[in-house]
Amino acid sequence: MFTDVRSEKALELRQDFRLSLGYAQPRTGSYVAISGTGALLTDRKKATELWTIEQHAYFPNGPGDARLALLKVRVKHAEYWLSPGRTAHLFAAAKGAVTGKPMKVVGTNVRLP
């Protein structure tokens, strides 16, 4: 992940290297949560390898921009959810309300060590 070495995120990481990341794509019902440790790298070769034109909006001087750093994450735990959609969730919620039994996980939930 590209980041600015002066960003709030970078400053926080210098104080505490533990982190968590989340990704959500509600349209497809995909969610990911990651926890681990992070470090800032100033590796111009790797930045050039990962560079896309979209990054230019944030780092106009390209991969050699003095503000550019890479966030390296060492994953300790990860979890993902795949939801079958809003209709399935609403059906499970209605069933729980009618039967008085708590809902179970709707869709797929996997924890990775």
Q: Mean pLDDT throughout 80-85?
A: 81
Whether the per-residue pLDDT at 89 is higher than 70: the answer is no
Q: Is the pTM of this model over 0.75?
A: no
Give the largest Cα separation in the chain, rounded. 61
Would you say 69 and 50 are in contact if contact means Cβ atoms under 8 Å apart? no
Q: Mean pLDDT throughout 3-10?
A: 94
Q: Mean pLDDT throughout 14-43?
A: 93
Whether the per-residue pLDDT at 54 is higher than 70: the answer is yes
- The DSSP string of 33-45 is EEEEEEEEE--HH
What one-letter code names the amino acid at 3? Answer: T
Q: What is the pLDDT of residue 68?
A: 96
- Indicate the pLDDT class of residue 63, thresholds 50, 70 and 90: very high
What one-letter code names the amino acid at 92? Answer: A
Whether the per-residue pLDDT at 91 is higher than 80: the answer is no
Q: How far apart are CA 91 and CA 89, in angstroms?
A: 5
In sequence order, the 6+-apart residues with CB closer than 8 A to the CB of 44 are 63, 64
CA contacts within 13 A on the Cβ side of 14 = 8
CATH 3.90.79.10 corresponds to the domain 2-112? no
What are the sequence ranges of the domains in the chain?
2-112
Work out whether strand 2-4 and strand 68-82 pair parallel, antiparallel, or are unpaired: antiparallel
Whether the per-residue pLDDT at 107 is higher than 80: the answer is no
